[in-house]
Amino acid sequence: MEQAFLLRLPKGDDLLDSLTRVFRERGIKSAHFTVIGALKRATLAYYDDVQRRYVSRDFDGLREIAACMGNVSEKDGDTFVHAHMILSGEDFGCVGGHLTSGSEIFAAELMAVPVPGPVGTRKFDEATGLYLWA
Ligand code: ZN
C-alpha cells in the first residue's frame, strides 16, 4: 500500500482529469484526498433529484479553491474520482458543488491518503439514480 503523498498538479490541466490520472497511474483505487489552490475557471454541478441528472454551471475568472475534498473508488473496473469544492472569488463570496470536467488549474496542491482494505465499488442505485458504493 502506497503511503500518503503530496503533489502539485500541473497548471492548465483539467482538475478532474488530472486527479484521475494521478490515481490511475499509481494504481490507487481507494483513497481520500484534499486539494487547495486556485482555478482559472470552474465548472460545478449539483444533482437534480427530480430530473435525475446533474445540472452544471460555469464560473469564469480566477477563484481560490477554499476547500476540495473527495474520494477514489472503482466504477466499471476503472479508477473513479468523486470530489466536491468550495471556491471563493475576488468579492470573497463562495460557490460550491460537485466537481465535474471543465475546471482549469491555476495552481493545485493535492494531499492524498490511500485507504487500505476492500475497494469501494460503485453500482447504479435505483433509489437515487446515482452510482453509489455497493
Ligand atoms: Zn458529488
Q: State the distance from the centre of ligand 1 to the C-alpha of 125, rounded, in angstroms.
A: 14
pLDDT (average), residues 11-23 = 98
Percent of the chain with pLDDT over 90: 96
| pLDDT given for residue 1 in this prediction | 64
Residue 97 corresponds to which cell in the numbers above? 458543488
Q: State the distance from the centre of ligand 1 to the C-alpha of 46, rounded, in angstroms.
A: 7
Q: State the distance from the centre of ligand 1 to the C-alpha of 83, rounded, in angstroms.
A: 6
Give 88's strand partners.
Answer: 64, 94
Helix, strand, or coil here: 37? strand
Listed in sequence order, the residues at least 6 apart from 53 whose beta carbon sits closer than 8 Å to its beta carbon are 47, 129
Segment 112-122, tens digit of pLDDT:
999 998 889 99
Segment 38-62, tens digit of pLDDT:
999 999 999 999 999 999 999 999 9
Mean of per-residue pLDDT scores for the chain: 96
Helix (H) or strand (E) holding 52, with range, is none
Could you tell me the pTM of the whole model? 0.95
Which residues, chain by chain, have CB under 5 Å from ion ligand 1?
98
